[in-house]
Chain A
C-alpha cells in the first residue's frame, strides 16, 4: 500500500462503500443520544414527505471519517474535517465515499471529499486537512 508521505496533489484516496441499516440507525441513536424519529420511525418519516427513515448526518460524516482514518493509519493526523450535508441518505442506500488530494504544502495534505448514492446524486461534500507524521 502506498505510504501517506508519498501522496501528492491529484492522487485519489482509497474509497469506501457503506449501506446504512435500520439497526445501525438505532445503534447510532443510542450512542449519540439523537433519537429524532426521522431516523427511527418509518411512518413518521413518510408523514414528513420522505421516502423512509434517513441516516443521521453525523453517522454519514462518521463513515467518511472511517475512510480517512483507515487511509492514514498511524502515518498522520487529521487537523481539520468538514462537510456540507447536501442530500438525504436513506436506509439501504449504497453510499460511496471518495476523496482526492487537492494540494500538498510540506507535510500537509488538503483533501476534497464527497459521498454519492447509487443514483450518482451527491449527498455530502467536504474537505479534510491531514498532517503527515515525520
Chain B
C-alpha cells in the first residue's frame, strides 16, 4: 500500500469550496442520527458537507482510523447559510505502536459565511497504519 502522507504536506491548503446548508440535508442527517428535525443544525452535521481534497494528500480507505475530532464554533450554523471552507494539513507525525508504525495526520477545516466571518473550525485526526513500511 502506497501512502502519500508526509511531513512536507504540512501547511498545504485546499482550494476554497462553497456549500449551502439546506433543510433537506439537515433533515436527512437528523433522521439518520435518530432525532426529530426541529430546524436547528446538530453540532456535528457540518462534517457531512465537507469534501476534503488537499493537493498531494491521498488517504487510504482501508485501515485508516478516525482517531480524534474537534470542532470550534464561532457562531451558530443555520439552515440557509452558505459556507466557504478551506482545508489544510496541520500536523503529520509517526509513532511506533503495538501494531507497528502508525502515521497521524491532522486536517483542519475552516468555514466562513458570506460576510466572511468564521463560523467554525474542525480538526480531524486520522491514524494510518504503515504496513510493510517499517
A, B in one complex: yes
A residues adjacent to B (C-beta < 8 A): 24, 27-28, 30-33, 36, 57-59, 61-63, 65-66, 68-69, 77-85
The distance from the CB of B100 to the nearest CB of chain A, in whole angstroms, is: 14
Q: Are B68 and A24 in contact (CB under 8 A)?
A: no
Q: Enumerate chain B residues within 8 angstroms of A63, measured Cβ to Cβ.
A: 33
In the assembled complex, the Cα of A65 lies from the Cα of B32 at a distance in Å of 14
Interface residue ranges of B16-40 to A (CB < 8 Å): 25, 28-29, 31-35, 40
Q: Are A27 and B68 in contact (CB under 8 A)?
A: no
Q: Are B43 and A81 in contact (CB under 8 A)?
A: yes
- Choose, from B7-15, B69-77, B81-89, B108-116, the stretch at the interface: B69-77
Q: Enumerate chain A residues within 8 angstroms of B74, measured Cβ to Cβ.
A: 79
Q: Are B71 and A81 in contact (CB under 8 A)?
A: yes
Interface residue ranges of B61-102 to A (CB < 8 Å): 61, 65-74, 76
Q: Closest 10 A-B residue pairs measured CB to CB?
A: A82-B70, A31-B32, A27-B32, A57-B66, A32-B48, A65-B43, A62-B33, A28-B32, A62-B44, A81-B71
In the assembled complex, the Cα of A62 lies from the Cα of B44 at a distance in Å of 6
In the assembled complex, the Cα of A109 lies from the Cα of B14 at a distance in Å of 34
Q: Are A78 and B43 in contact (CB under 8 A)?
A: yes
Given A31-B48, A58-B66, A66 and B72 contact (CB-CB distance below 8 Å): no
The distance from the CB of A45 to the nearest CB of chain B, in whole angstroms, is: 12
Q: Enumerate chain A residues within 8 angstroms of B44, measured Cβ to Cβ.
A: 58, 61-62, 65, 81
Given A24-B34, A28-B33, A36-B61, A84 and B67 contact (CB-CB distance below 8 Å): yes
